[in-house]
Structure 1
Amino acid sequence: MKKSDVLAHFNGVSKVAAALGISPGAVSQWPDEVPVLRQLQIQAITGGQLRASADALKFSQPSA
């Protein structure tokens, strides 16, 4: 999941931060690829409109 896609979906850093319950500064520090746990959170709160990357989904699966 790309940071630019998240910012566009929520219309800015402040709205992303508010939706996630974090500071705008924390969002600003993200690299181009949103951190894995945040991807999963964003996918959940957007009802799948934004989808976590395959790597993030692997991370969320329990290991056998």
Structure 2
Amino acid sequence: MLKAIVVSYFRSKRNVANVFGISPQAVGQWGDVILEKSALLIEKITNGSLKYNPKLYRKHHTENSQQNNTD
């Protein structure tokens, strides 16, 4: 899930921060793609208005699996 879409949906970083109980500055430090567990939570909170997209996270999981196999 893209941070820009989440911020747009909630209308501000402050509102996103309130949902997670964190500071707006912490939201600002998120990457372009938010954490997978946060995306799943937001999908639930928004009753599916914002959708978790597993394709955004598969590449990361694949890279980690490959790194773990070479260690």
Q: TM-score, normalised by structure 1?
A: 0.78
Bigger radius of gyration among the two: 2
Structure 2: how far apart are the matches of 1:7 and 1:57?
A: 19
1:44-63 matches, within 5 Å, as 44-55=44-55
Counterpart residue identity of residue 10, structure 2: F
Q: Is the 8 A contact 1:40 1:57 kept in 2?
A: no
The equivalent residue for 1:42 is: 42
Structure 2: how far apart are the matches of 1:47 and 1:36?
A: 17
Q: Is the 8 A contact 2:14 2:24 kept in 1?
A: yes
Q: Give the gaps of 5 or more residues in structure 2.
A: 62-71
Normalized per residue, the structure richer in helix is 2
Number of positions where the alignment pairs a residue of Structure 1 with one of Structure 2: 59
1:1-40 matches, within 5 Å, as 1-40=1-40
